A and B are shown apart, each in its own frame.
Chain A
Amino acid sequence: MTRRKVLLGALLALTVFAAAAFVLPQPAAEVVEAAEADTELERRAVYALLRVAGLAWVTVEWTAALILIYSYVLLTRAFATRAAQKGNAP
């Protein structure tokens, strides 16, 4: 797959997502508001569970970030060692 096709596909997906993000929440919010009065406490309990899930997601993301940072450090050392060995080669 060429780089240009991947970039165009990503831009198209971004445009569709951005349009959906600004159009979809309004009808969804109206449905939630209609159900709100009867299920206030239950809704808050669901929100609490969502925040627990958010905590798990934050953990996953930071773990991935730290793994990537460590990988970058290891790769930098590996390429530097390789360059040094090639420089020392007879």
Chain B
Amino acid sequence: MIETIGSLLSEDRYLVLTRIQGTAWTAADFLIVVYLTKCANLFRAHLGKSKHVVPYVVLGLTAPFALFLPVAPGGMAFFRLEAVVTAPHFLLILYLLAANANIVLEGLHGLLRDSSVNSTHAS
């Protein structure tokens, strides 16, 4: 079975599949960082704190490298492009989670408190 699977997958096919999957998960990474930043900024604006701008700057800087992923010439080039694009994104996600955990909890607490007060008044 291993020999059958191995005989079906040539190096070229493997590289094509890697490019497709890498592009797909990198696109998801971009969306995750954008919407995580937007969610954090919603809570920050609600609590009167300054909004995050750095994540958008980092996304703008990594976007040109991500455009080359579908046409990466080989495995090593693809790996290096992925490292340049994905590492800042994951670090941004960790930063956003660490920097906004308390703010999000405070904002959610306020939202839930207000919704329970409003439902009490309505009843």
Which A residues have a C-beta under 8 Å from some C-beta of B?
Answer: 1, 3, 6-7, 10, 13-14, 17-18, 21-22, 25, 29, 40-45, 47-48, 51, 54-55, 57-58, 61-62, 64-65, 68-69, 71-72, 75-76, 78-79, 82, 85
Contact = CB atoms under 8 A, between A and B. Distances in A.
A21 B29 contact: no
Closest 9 CB pairs of A and B: A41-B6, A21-B83, A61-B28, A44-B6, A65-B31, A68-B35, A54-B21, A45-B6, A45-B2
Given A72-B38, A75-B42, A64 B32 contact: yes
Interface residues of B, number: 44
Nearest to A7: B95
A76 to B, nearest CB: 7
Contact of B111 (A3, A21, A68, A78): A78
Contacts, number: 115
Contacts of B7: 41, 44
Contacts of A18: 83-84, 87
